[in-house]
Structure 1
Amino acid sequence: MFKKNNSFFDQVQQSAKVRPDELLKLANSVSQSNLKDEATLRELIGRVSALANKPVTKEKEDQIVHAILSNNMPTDLSSLTKMFNNKK
């Protein structure tokens, strides 16, 4: 399904310690999810957090959920990085 030397998957695996097959499984589940349902969003955030072994605070989870539900997600990598690195 994917090439072993795929640089995107290599980068994800090295930086986040997430296996490509787990990332593809998560992407598949997200594509079939109702991203306008708050409970579904919170479950997905929890799964991503667990997969990446990176805890997400309740405040950060609330911020992500609000951004997605209000269609206010950053559209560029710099803004997205700022959102996730914001200490609020």
Structure 2
Amino acid sequence: MSRINYDAMSDAELKQYFLKHRGDRTAFEAYLDRLNRRPRRIIASLSDPDFDDKVQAAIRQKLEASGNSSAQQSNTLRFPTD
């Protein structure tokens, strides 16, 4: 059996490979390692008075950037306010 080179795969290819081969623990670990290497963007702190607005704006941006047809649904997203 030939060894799979996960490093040679693009992010999308690795994700698709893992989704088709869910029992491949090494592929899963390679996928998680790749995700964890990405820089994390802090949208807002919990004490930020505009927390809800910033989170909703970030969700809308993500939906629009992905070209997902569910971008229309982002207008109906509501988060509980306490």
TM-score, scaled relative to structure 1 = 0.37
TM-score, scaled relative to structure 2 = 0.39
Question: Which one has a larger percent helix, Structure 1 or Structure 2?
Answer: 1
Higher RCO, 1 vs 2 (CA within 8 Å, ≥6 residues apart): 1
